[in-house]
Each structure stands twice: as structure tokens, then as C-alpha cells.
Structure 1
Amino acid sequence: MGLLNALQGFCVIGIVILAGYIAARLRIGGSSAQMVLNRFSFFVCSPCLMFAILSKEPIFDIFHSSIVVAFASAMAVGVIFLIVNRLHFHMDAAHATIGALNSLYLNSNNIGLPIATYILDDPALVAPILVMQQALFTPVGLTVLDMATTGRVSAKEVLKQPFHQPMLIASLLGIAVSVVSAQTGWFVIPDFLYDPIDMIGDAAVPMILMAFGMSLHGTRPMQDRTARQATVTVTVLKNLVMPLVAFLLSYFVMGFRGPTLYACVVLAALPTGQNVYNYAARYNVGTTFARDGILLSTMTSPVVIALVAVLLG
């Protein structure tokens, strides 16, 4: 049953991605269509979706103990990459940081939301991961990149990063509304305000998937031969090692079973987040490495998630 649900979910996701790919081939919307969809989703639809979901989610369901698994498994693969780099690749600090982020950073938005929606039946599952990454991993990663590329750290810029993330801001506002609603015993946002936010949020997932489909048109990965081994390494860490670590922690340490165990492992098998490429481009370091790692991880992740569905679903 788990495999069937996963296959049906991937079928839904795949058809929408294919629609975006076909649209790009036919030049529907012009050369800027992907950028427009991505930016509109990032700044408008996805924040509305997260607010709409979290504001009506019971506060104790939002911060489930499974966040411990997500944090520990991400840290584990990041540290493993740094060790492998020290022993084998010998990248400098900036490129090693990109590699570590490629290994641990989950695509909780572009792929995580559709997976949580159509396979796990609960889009709120990605919220704690999104908050963890934007509030913790992003500032730490940018601090290291600042130091490695400029030799100094701009504390102001690092501290400002979370406030530049609409998804994080919307998630925190939704959590605040959930807390207030729990205290008062009734939902504090009137319907005439909540309904349009919810309606706009409903456009987020299809918009994200079509933009991703557009991005696949004309892509030629793995052109940089010198980074191929490192790219394969981060993909193995992200798509195989991280779900395995998540399973071991969930089953033997946290004692999770059933849907909770399944959700922890599926979310750990999400591909690398596209934010990593944005960070690499911002500092002009490891952009090809970041892009290829994201693409290869995204292409292989569905196979891993289907396997998880067979074993645990």
C-alpha cells in the first residue's frame, strides 16, 4: 500500500513536472517563465501555503520529536563529507562548505512540499525542517563562506539572512497564530482573511513543480570532470546515507514505528535543496559542483523514496 501511494504521488508530481518541461520546450511564457514562477512561488504562494497550514495545525504537532532525527541525520552526513574531503578530495574551506551543504540540506520547499502533500498526506511535516534549515544551517553555512571567501565575517549580513526568507517568516507567523488560537480556544484569523491566503497557497505546489520541470530543459550535468567524484559522493550521502541514519535513529533511538518512522525516512531521502546553488552563486564558489549535486540528487531521490515505501510504507 505504501508503494502504491508513493507511485501515485510520484505520478501526480511527475505529470506536473512534465507539463513544465513541455512548456519550456514550446517556449510558453518566454525565457523568463521559470524565473517568474520560481520567484512568485518563493515570495507569494509558498509563504501563504505555509501560513495557511501551520496556523491551523496544533502547536504540539508542529514541533514533533522527529525534528531530532532530521537534525542529527543532517549533521551526520555533513560531518562525514568533511571527513572524506579531508582524507581524499582536499577541497578548500569554501568548496568543502558547499559540499557539506549539498550533503545535508533538504529540498523542503520545491520537492518536500509535494512529497509531504501527495505521499505523506501532511504538508505540515516539512515545516520544522524548513525552520531548522533557515534558522540554523543557513546562517552557519553563510558565516563559513564569508570567512573562507573574504577573510572576515559580516555579522550583520549573517543575522539578516533569516529575515530574507519569506517561507521562514510565514512559518513563524503561522506558528504564532497556532499558539494564540490554542490559548484562546478559537481560530483568531477571520475567514475573509484566511480564505484568500489559503487560495493563493494552493497554487504553490503546482507552480513549484512546473518551474522545476522548466529547469530540466537544456540541462547538461556532470560536465566538470574534476568534481565528478565529489558530486557522486554528496549524492550518495544525501540520498542513501542520510535516510539510513534517519532510520537507525528513528527506530533504535527514538522508538518510532509506523507512519512516524516512514515519514522520518522519506523526508531524509529528499534531494538537496536548491538554496545551496543560490549560496554558491552568491559567493561565486563551487557553482557547478552545487548545481550538479542538486540535479543528480533530485534525479535519484524518487528511486530511494520508492524503495523506502516498499520497505516501510
Structure 2
Amino acid sequence: MEAVDALEKMAPVLLAFGCGTVLARRKVVPAESSKVFADYTFLFAVPCFLFGNIYRSDLEALFDWRAIAGYAAAAGLAVVLAGALSRAFGVRDPRGLALRIMAAVQVNTAYFAVPVFIMLFGNAAPIFPVLLLQVCVLSLVIISIMELGRPDRGGSLRTRLFAALAASLTTPVVLACNAGIALNLLSVPLPGFVLDSFAFVGDSSSPVALFALGLHLGGMGLTLRGTTVEEMWIVAFKCVGFPLMTLGVARYGFGVEGDWLHYLVLLAAMPAPQNLFIFAQRYDVAVDMSAALVVKSSVVTLLLLPLWAQWATA
């Protein structure tokens, strides 16, 4: 029964993604316009979503520091292993390495984890500590590497490093998270219409991002037959390796048990994040591979989700 419910929760995801694919294949909407939709999501809709939800959350109740430390340690180990495997496959470009690590370690929270957690546990609150870790740490590093490697960046290494760090810290996604945390901790009151406005725009982030991905894939075409060995190991690492690593590190390294152990492992089992495609398209690095990894890891996650859900609710 859990499997059927989980698949039903994925119906909106399939609708938004499938609509973009069909419209691009029929040339109703140009596939190249996917970048416009991706930029809207990355620069505006996702920051609105994050700010509003973080501001409204009870941060003190959400942060189990032992559980978060366990997940962070597992993610750090996964970053090292994914980077080593990528180099073994001949990837030397830092931006290419960063994207592959992002695909193998970061998780799709807004588009997969939220509906799954609401279905299984009644709310998605446990997601936000990991979401903050991803945005304020992992994504910050990824953005810095992307900005540092931009071909239009000139000057000395030190100058480019500071410019890249400044660009990453002033990215709307990072600013939104930091602002949400600061205003929440300071108990700064915001008018209801302001929060409603952020929620209105933020609610569009999931469908628009998935629509953009569908447009891109509708234009390029995607078949399982064309899956490369590199794509296979990244998907396997993301959907099986990383959650098992999280289970081992969190349970035996940090003594995390009970509900939080289930939360962390289930989160780690979510597919590669939609932002992988958005970052790749924004910085013009491995766009086709990133789009393929998002979709293929999502398919594998859907197939494995009944097993993870049964374990997490046992």
C-alpha cells in the first residue's frame, strides 16, 4: 500500500516533467527556452520557497545536532569517494568534478522528499536541517567552484577566489537561507501578505523547474539504452551507496537511532537534485549529462522507494 501511495504522490512530478517533454518534442515550446525557466527557478522561485519555509519553521525543534553531524559526516565521506571515482573516470575539470559530486551526494528535497515525508510521517519538517546543510555548505562550495571556473573570470588566483566566494555568498539561494535563519532567530515579525507573496512565488519552483527539465530532455532526447557507465555508477552511488553509507555512519559512528535514523537514510535515498540541471545549464557545464542523471536517478528512486519506505516505517 505504501508503494502505491508513494507513486501517487509522484503524479504531479510526472505531469510537470512530461508536459515539458511533450511540448518540446512537438516543437510547441522551443527546447532552448528551458534556460529561461531554469534561471527563473534558480534566481527567484527557489529563494522565495526557501526563505518563507525557513522563516516559518521552529528551528530549535528541528535541529538534532547528533543526527545532523552524522549526516554531515556521511556526506563528507561520500564527497571524497565520489570525487575519487570521478577522477578515476578521467574527469579533471573542477567544474565537472563538482557537478558529479553534487549528483552523487546532494538530494532532491523539494520535489521528492517533501511529498514522501508528508505521506509517511505527516510533515516535512525533518527535511529542513539537511536542506540548510545542502544550501549553506554544499551548494556554496559548488557555486564557488563554478564561479571560479568561469571563462570570463580574469585576474590573479586570489582575486578570482574572492570574486567567486563573493558571487556564491550573494547568490539568491544562499541569501534567502541566511535571511530566513536570521529573521527567524531574531523573531523579526513580517506582515502576512509578505509571507503569502513569497509562498505564492515559491510554490511555482517545483513545477517550473521540472517543466524546464522536460523541455531540455524533449529537445535532446533520452533513452536508457544510451546510459553510460559513468551515469550508471553515479546513479547507483546516489540511490544505494549514499543511503547505506548514511545508515552506517549515523548509526555506528554517531549513535543515531529511531526516527532520526529513518529520516536521514530516507533523505539520502532521494534522487539527484533538480538544482543539478539548473546549475549545469546556468554555467554551461555537462548539461545533457546532468539532465539525464536527474531523470534516471528519479526513476531508480521510484523503483526503490517502496523498500526504503517499508524500512523507515517499520
- TM interval, shorter chain, is 0.7 to 0.9
Tell me the equivalent position of 1:184.
none
Q: CA deviation at 1:246?
A: 1.8
Q: CA deviation at 1:59?
A: 1.6
Tell me the equivalent position of 2:186.
180
Tell me the equivalent position of 2:205.
204
Tell me the equivalent position of 2:192.
191
Give the superposed CA RMSD: 3.7
Query: Secondary structure of the equivalent of 1:217?
Result: helix
Query: Partners of 2:14 and 2:236 in 1: how far apart?
Result: 23
Contact 1:221–1:292 (CA under 8 A) maintained in structure 2: yes
Query: Secondary structure of the equivalent of 1:246?
Result: helix
Query: Secondary structure of the equivalent of 1:199?
Result: helix
Query: Partners of 2:150 and 2:41 in 1: how far apart?
Result: 32
Q: CA deviation at 1:50?
A: 1.9
Q: TM-score normalised to the size of structure 2?
A: 0.77
Structure 1 residue identity aligned to 2:162: K
Q: CA deviation at 1:115?
A: 4.7
Contact 1:5–1:119 (CA under 8 A) maintained in structure 2: no
Do the aligned partners of residues 195 and 101 (structure 1) sit closer, same or farther apart at CA in structure 2, a change above 3 Å counting?
A: closer
Contact 2:239–2:301 (CA under 8 A) maintained in structure 1: yes
Do the aligned partners of residues 213 and 262 (structure 1) sit closer, same or farther apart at CA in structure 2, a change above 3 Å counting?
A: farther
Kindly indicate whether residue 157 of structure 2 is the aligned counterpart of residue 156 of structure 1: no
Q: CA deviation at 1:126?
A: 4.0
Query: Partners of 1:308 and 1:125 in 2: how far apart?
Result: 16
Q: CA deviation at 1:308?
A: 0.6
Query: Partners of 2:275 and 2:48 in 1: how far apart?
Result: 19
**1:255-266 equivalent positions in 2, closer than 5 A:** 255-258=256-259, 260-266=260-266
Tell me the equivalent position of 2:177.
171
**1:298-309 equivalent positions in 2, closer than 5 A:** 298-309=298-309
Tell me the equivalent position of 2:79.
78
Do the aligned partners of residues 179 and 144 (structure 1) sit closer, same or farther apart at CA in structure 2, a change above 3 Å counting?
A: closer
Query: Partners of 1:103 and 1:84 in 2: how far apart?
Result: 11
Between stretches 249-258 and 72-81, larger displacement belongs to: 249-258
**Residues matched between the structures, number:** 305
Tell me the equivalent position of 1:55.
55
Unaligned runs of 5+ in 1: 182-186
Do the aligned partners of residues 24 and 143 (structure 1) sit closer, same or farther apart at CA in structure 2, a change above 3 Å counting?
A: closer
Between stretches 89-98 and 188-197, larger displacement belongs to: 89-98
Query: Partners of 2:102 and 2:167 in 1: how far apart?
Result: 16
Do the aligned partners of residues 42 and 121 (structure 1) sit closer, same or farther apart at CA in structure 2, a change above 3 Å counting?
A: farther
Over the matched positions of the two proteins, sequence identity in percent amounts to 20
Kindly indicate whether residue 14 of structure 2 is the aligned counterpart of residue 3 of structure 1: no
Tell me the equivalent position of 2:103.
102
Do the aligned partners of residues 51 and 287 (structure 1) sit closer, same or farther apart at CA in structure 2, a change above 3 Å counting?
A: closer
Q: TM-score normalised to the size of structure 1?
A: 0.77
Kindly indicate whether residue 69 of structure 2 is the aligned counterpart of residue 68 of structure 1: yes
Do the aligned partners of residues 287 and 36 (structure 1) sit closer, same or farther apart at CA in structure 2, a change above 3 Å counting?
A: closer
Query: Partners of 1:39 and 1:267 in 2: how far apart?
Result: 26
Tell me the equivalent position of 2:238.
238
Structure 1 residue identity aligned to 2:71: A
1:242-267 deviation line (CA, Å, top 9, x unaligned): 01112233444333313x33321222
Contact 2:9–2:116 (CA under 8 A) maintained in structure 1: yes
Query: Partners of 1:32 and 1:117 in 2: how far apart?
Result: 35
